[in-house]
Amino acid sequence: MNSYFERRYTIAGIFIVIVIILLARLFYIQIIDNRYAIYASNNVRRQTIIFPARGPILDRNGKILVQNQTFYDIMVTPKQVKPFDTLEFCKLLGIDKAGFDKRWMKAMKYSPTLPSAFEKQLTGEAFASLQERLSEFPGFDYSPRYLRVYPDSIAAQFLGFIGEVSDRDIERSGGYYHLGDYIGETGVEKSYETVLRGQRGVQNWLIDSKNKRKGRFANGLFDTAAVAGQRLKSSLDINIQRLGEQLMKNKLGSIVAIEPSTGEILCYVSSPTYDPNLMVGRQRGNNAAELYKNPYKPFFIRPIQAYYPPGSSFKPLSALIALQNGIITPETTYNCPGYYWAGNTKIRCTHVHGIVNLSSAVSGSCNGYFSMVFQKIIDLNGSKKTETTFTQWRQNVNKFGLGSRLGLDMPNEGKGNLPTSAYYNKVYRPGGWRSSTVVSLAIGQGELEATPLQLANIECTIANHGFYYRPHLIKSIGADEIIKKEYTERNFVGIDSQYFEPVINGMQAVVDHGTAIQSKIPGIIMCGKTGTAQNPHGENHSVFVAYAPRENPKIAIAVVVENSGEGARWAAPIASFIVEKYLKGSISKRESGITPEYFMNANKLPNIENYTAKGKRRAAFLADSLKKAKPDSVFKQKRKKAVNQIKNNQLQNITPESENKKNE
Amino acid sequence: MNNQRNFFFNVDWITVFIFMALCIIGWFNIHAAVFDERHPFIFDFATNYGKQFLFIMIAFILAIVILLLESRMITTLAPAFYGITIFLLIIVLVIGKNVGGNQAWLSLGGGFRLQPSEFAKFATCLLLARYLSQSNIKITDTKSFLTALAIIGLPMFLILRQPDMGSTLVFYSLIFVLYREGLSANYLIISILFIVLFLASILYPPLYVIAAISVLTFLLIIILRKNKRLITTLLLGLVICVAFIFSVKFIYNKVLQPHQKVRIDIVLGIKSDLRGKGYNVNQSKIAIGSGKLWGKGYLHGTQTKYSFVPAQSTDFIFCTIGEEWGFAGSVIVLGLYLFLVLRIIFIAERQRSSLSRIYGYGVASVLFFHVAINIATTIGLAPVIGIPLPFISYGGSSLINFTMLLFVLLKFDSNRLGIV
């Protein structure tokens, strides 16, 4: 044997020690240290958010106003792309080589290893031809997404639109929204956002080291399903909405029709309107820019944002207040000589009415009678108490919904304007104004301004003999058709029902043999009131308010056609067609010979030139001198500013948007 | 030649069983590591696990062939094996195939490749054993020592030219053989000391290391103060150590290749570039660490299945074991290896022929070095030098080399009662 025999133990010992060190280390990382298990699950786990389908919106009879359609985003993961036939791919996608390079650079910039959208929102047809060949282009994938489609292209201002969230939205939502999410920007989409958006789901995927999906993490144990947004049933009637938009074509103005027995809005037309489909899809940006540039402001929601002096349609209100307070009786008469003296102010009447009572004053729209009533109310306790009685009058008028928001379920509702005594104290001086100073309020002029919605709501109140339901556009929410409680409560205006009869008699007479006789509907008793709102910029605005039928009213309506003249000529016929269509389902031949087609084809758009001819000349002059000026000179900068100002100011007067609104 | 007739009775069956167990463990883990859903069947030859089965079959046949050969023929041919290997190592530098930065492969056609450096381990062990077993050779003689060093050094030099650092270092393990045959323990101590010093002076500022080693020396001097000669040696050693520490920075910066530097940095925790060079080791640690006690189960390792760890079926195969079989599996595999190595030492020591004994220690050293460094790498204790785990890692060259190493020893062992 040999002398170093015992060295076997040293060698074996060294081996054993090393193995023990390895085992100790393994024990540490496998048993004691928990970090590695967490790292491992983070390595393979990726969350994807499943977007729920947004809730559809239906009309009152269940017809679809907006629903979802699936579009396809083409995704690319640059690292996974292998050489392919670029030309063929471009052809399938409908883009050119330059466009391809641009998108490619963008995707590379975003991330070479993560998927990003290469081309967004391909329609089903466009995608179909690509889908079957997508496997030839490794690294390219698709991701479906829902977009809004509007089969009838109507009620754009009611529905509103959705858009990508802004940083502010993200902040306000407390982290609910992420960059690239969609949110309702206007209309119902905005006011019912939380109902429509549904609930997002989460899927946990297993991924490999190249970010490729390999299956569900923990067999989907931690996944949550997406819950689709709830269905909204709107109160609109698609038939009269469509008719209303056709009638208002090439006109500025609005139609609001309400069911008096519920407060449900049946028709909500803002003209000019636009095709809501324009605000969806790949051309959205261009379309939106075009619409914003449109001088007639299609994004302006006239039924709730446009302010008009209510004119004659306001007249019955003061009379009703006077009746309730016993200041007049229905039999109180007034002898109209064709004008009215309020202090030193002479108010002209349309014609010499002679002796009128309440009903005939309403039907004849006698300025004198209502001025007289108004002065009686305000001067009840003597001219010294003008402020107190005026404030009382104002409160009573306010109960009808004027001067404050009705609480429509839509964003951006306007208040209108019902001046306060404080306002007059400021304009004149405390005690420096009398009933005669503010008498134009009696006939719906002066500082008084109302939205078409408020006008229609007054008609509801009259139709209901003294109360209204809060107007709303969404009838019920979800499959269970839940109706909000506040829409079932009556809002009383503080006038007893018997006082309405003389007013209503007068309103019936307006249609039966008064100013609106042209718009009489065969077989239906309609009670209405024509009005003419003064427009300092051009022809007066044509206003008509009405409800029908007289017994058991089904529809109350307010129509405003801007720059068209008398209420009887434009607004009343349009209103009568809507009412008849709603009540009968079709429009019959009229004795007066008016036809819907005539109104549909008429163009009453104000000429932009008239408004801005002077401004345009000035802009042209400035632009010319701007060209000649030296670059970067102070003069040039000043001129540039002036040109921009003119451009901005040019169109501001087209729609009577109150200054007061801006001060709110 | 009575032992020729009953050679199967003299074969050490315990070793054979461990060998077979490790091969099968390897095969199953390769199946898990490179599992392909399109080819789930473990015998599918389109996949690496299918090929590994083929390699295992070849290895078994080779094992039987070796057991049928004459022991004397093997020892006689030792210089020839060595010569052929050296020739192949030179050839590979000229016409070799470069894989992963190492020019280590000879193409055999049909997708199969040969790695001569693997066979160099066997040839070197055998020639070293044959040289040292000569009756007039004593390792303590300078001439014999230098000759032994030359036998080991020649293939090391050629492999370093590829440059394959891992395989080169494997030959360093033969120091255990020399130690067993009488080499002074100082060599072992000094070499371990220098490894520790090298790592320490990269990790810590040189002055700290010098301070630590000085304190250690003075403590030793106080303990051994009666032995004057040893004190002188210790002081001399201290001087050399200090000189070495100062030269480490130079070696580290000028001699090592950039990728080797990075790998050492990672192990020492100097750089934690997890997405870059440190990625492998980090993912490997995550795989093994997430296995916990019982592992995630066969084919259920997420790190393994979704290819987070590169070189999973070869150098990082232990990740799959650690992840899918947990600490329990790791203990079993490490236990099997330790038992195998200790069994080889036991076999070596029962040989009457010194050639067989020396060869046995060679086998034990090479095997153990592979196991220890490979597993240490996967758990972040050693730099990534890229050497396979014996019998388990995917690859024909490695499997066949270890089979040859082991079964030649078993052949010698079955003849131990005869005269070789």
Helical (H) or strand (E) element with A213: strand A213-216
Question: How far is A191 from A181, CA to CA, in rounded Å?
Answer: 17
Contact between residue B55 and residue B399 where contact means Cβ atoms under 8 Å apart: yes
Query: Is A57 within 8 Å of A234 (Cβ atoms)?
Result: yes
- Looking at residue A420, its amino acid is T
Is the Cβ–Cβ distance between B394 and B209 less than 8 Å? Answer: no
Backbone angles phi, psi at A207, to 5 degrees: -125, 155
A44/B306 CB distance under 8 A: yes
Q: Assess contact for B282 and B274: CB atoms under 8 A.
A: yes
Nearest to A25 among B179, B305, B381 (CB): B381
8 Å CB contact of B306 and A207: yes
Q: How far apart are CA A337 and CA A339, in angstroms?
A: 6
The residue of chain A with its CA nearest to that of B181 is: A4
Tokens of A40: 């491992």
- Closest Cα partner for A594 from A606, A576, A613? A576
First to last CA, chain A: 110
Nearest to A113 by CA among A75, A81, A79, A141: A79
Say yes or no for a CB contact (<8 Å) between B334 and A214.
no
> What b/e sequence results for B299-335 when a residue is b if at least 16 CB atoms lie within 10 Å of its CB, and e otherwise?
eebbbbbbbbbebbbbbbbbbbbbbbbbbebbeebbe
What is the C-alpha separation between B102 and B113, in angstroms, rounded? 14
- Closest residue of B to A12, CA-based? B342
pLDDT at B395 over 70: yes
CB A22 within 8 A of CB B381: yes
Give the span between the Cα atoms of A42 and B259, in whole angstroms: 28
CA distance A404 to A396: 13
Per DSSP, the three-state class of B97 is strand
Residue with tokens 């004849």: A364
Question: Is the CB of residue B326 less than 8 Å away from at least one CB of chain A?
Answer: yes
pLDDT in tens, B183-213: 888 888 888 888 777 777 766 777 888 888 8
pLDDT at B365: 94
Which pLDDT value is given to residue B406?
Answer: 94
Give the strands of the sheet with A555-561, arranged side by side: A264-271, A253-259, A555-561, A541-548, A527-533
The answer, for A209 touching chain B at a CB cutoff of 8 Å, is: yes
In this prediction, residue A626 carries a pLDDT of 55
DSSP tag of A497: G
Which residues of chain B neighbour A12 with C-beta distances below 8 Å?
Answer: 342, 345
Question: B308 pLDDT exceeds 80?
Answer: no
Closest chain A CA to residue B339: A16
Dihedral sign for Cα atoms in the order A502, A457, A530, A154 = negative
* pLDDT reading at B323 higher than 50: yes
Note whether A257 and A526 are within 8 A (CB): no
Question: Cβ of A4 and B290 within 8 Å?
Answer: no
Chain B contact for A29 (CB, 8 A cutoff): yes
Number of other residues whose CB lies within 10 A of the CB of residue A180: 8
On the 0-12 / 13-18 / 19+ scale of CB atoms within 10 A, A436 is: buried
- Look at A42 and B52; give whichever has higher pLDDT: B52
C-alpha distance across the termini of chain B, in Å: 11
- pLDDT at A663 (0 to 100): 34
Q: Looking at CA atoms only, how far is residue A41 from chain B in angstroms? A: 8
Secondary structure element (H or E) that encloses residue A468, with its range: strand A467-469
Distance between CA atoms of residues B79 and B83, nearest Å: 6
Predicted TM-score (pTM) above 0.90: no
Tokens of A53: 């389908």
A-chain CB neighbours of B342 within 8 Å are: 12, 15-16
Residue B281 has pLDDT above 60, yes or no: yes
CA distance A213 to chain B (A): 9
- Contact call for B372 and A22, based on CB within 8 A: yes
For the cut 70, the answer to whether the pLDDT of residue B264 exceeds it is no
The residue written with tokens 């160099």 in the block is B120
Residue to substitute from A2, A11, A113, A208, interface B, most B β-carbons within 10 A: A11
How far lies A393's CA from each of A329, A415, A421, A429, in Å? 17, 18, 10, 20
| Type of residue found at A505 | N
Structure tokens at B294: 């019982």
The nearest CA of chain A is from the CA of B324 a distance in Å of 12
SS3 state of residue B382: coil
Measured CA to CA, the distance from residue A367 to residue A390 in angstroms comes to 19
Report for A612-626, B94-108, B217-231: range of highest mean pLDDT:
B217-231
Widest distance between CA atoms in chain B? 74
Closest CA to A388 of A420, A345, A415: A420
Rounded percentage of chain B residues whose pLDDT exceeds 90: 29
The 3-state secondary structure of B103-114, one letter per residue: EEEEEEECCEEE
Q: Which amino acid is at A525?
A: I
Give the integer Cα–Cα distance in Å for B72 and A437.
135
The answer to whether A614 and A587 have CB atoms below 8 angstroms apart is no
Q: Nearest-CA residue of chain B relative to A38? A: B290
CA dist., res. A274 & res. A296, Å (int): 11
Region B317-340: mean pLDDT is: 92
What is the rounded CA–CA span in Å between residue A658 and residue A449? 8
Q: What pLDDT is recorded for position A620?
A: 61
pLDDT 10s digits, A235-261: 999 999 999 999 999 999 999 999 999
Closest CA to B152 of B133, B134, B170, B179: B170
Name the residue facing A25 among B291, B293, B379 (closest C-beta).
Answer: B379
Where do runs of H (alpha helix) occur along B133-184? Answer: 142-160, 165-172, 175-180
Which residues, listed in sequence order, are joined to residue A149 by a DSSP beta bridge?
A67
Q: How far apart are CA B80 and CA B83, in angstroms?
A: 5
Tell me the two tokens of residue A549.
């039928």
Residue A114's identity, in one-letter code, is L
* Residues near A563 by beta carbon (within 8 Å), at least 6 away in sequence: A252, A535, A537, A538, A539, A540, A541, A604, A605, A606
Which band of pLDDT confidence, cut at 50, 70 and 90, is reported for residue B263? Answer: low
The verdict on a CB contact (< 8 Å) between B361 and A11 is: yes
B290/A40 Cβ within 8 A: yes
Kindly compute the dihedral angle of the four CA atoms of residues B10, B16, B17, B18, in this order, to the nearest 10 degrees: 130
Where helices occur in A144-249 by DSSP H, the ranges are 156-159, 167-172, 187-191, 193-196, 238-247
Burial class (CB in 10 A: 0-12, 13-18, 19+), B23: buried
Cβ–Cβ below 8 Å for B342 and A37 = no
**Nearest C-alpha of chain A: how many angstroms from B106?**
31
| Chain B partners within 8 Å of A25 (Cβ) | 376, 379, 381
From the list B176, B286, B293, the residue facing A31 with the nearest CB is B293
> DSSP class of residue A311?
G
Q: Tell me whether B368 touches chain A (CB under 8 Å).
A: yes
Contacts of A214 in chain B (CB under 8 A): 305-306
The burial of A497, by beta-carbon neighbours within 10 Å (0-12 exposed, 13-18 middle, 19 or more buried), is given as exposed
Taking the CA of residue A661 as centre, how many other CA atoms within 13 Å lie in the half-sphere pointing to its CB? 18
State ipTM.
Answer: 0.88
The residues in B 275-314 lying below 8 A from A, measured between CB atoms, are 283, 285-293, 302-303, 305-308
Q: Measure CB to CB from residue B379 to each of A26, A35, A206 and give the nearest one.
A: A26
Taking CB atoms and an 8 Å limit, are A206 and B306 in contact across chains? yes
- Inter-chain contact A40–B292, Cβ cutoff 8 Å? no
Q: What residues of chain B, 181 to 210, have a C-beta less than 8 Å from chain A?
A: 181-182, 185
Contact A19 B337 (CB under 8 A): yes
- Which chain A residues are Cβ-neighbours of B180 within 8 angstroms? 4, 7-8, 11
- Considering only CB atoms, A27 lies closest to which of B303, B327, B364, namely B327
Min distance B114 CA to chain A CA atoms (Å): 30
Query: B106-119 pLDDT, tens per residue?
Result: 877 666 778 888 88
Quote the distance between the C-alpha of residue A279 and its chain's center: 13
Choose from A9, A19, A20, A30 for mutation: most chain B CBs within 10 A. Answer: A30
Weakly modelled stretches of chain A, pLDDT under 70: 1-3, 209-212, 608-664
CB pairs under 8 A between A and B: 120
Pair of tokens at residue A632: 């970067």
Sign of CA dihedral A129, A131, A136, A137: positive
Q: Which residues contact A509 (CB under 8 A, 6 or more apart)?
A: A359, A360, A362, A363
Residue type for position B164: D
pLDDT attached to residue A526: 94
- Which of B180, B291, B381 comes nearest A11 by C-beta? B180
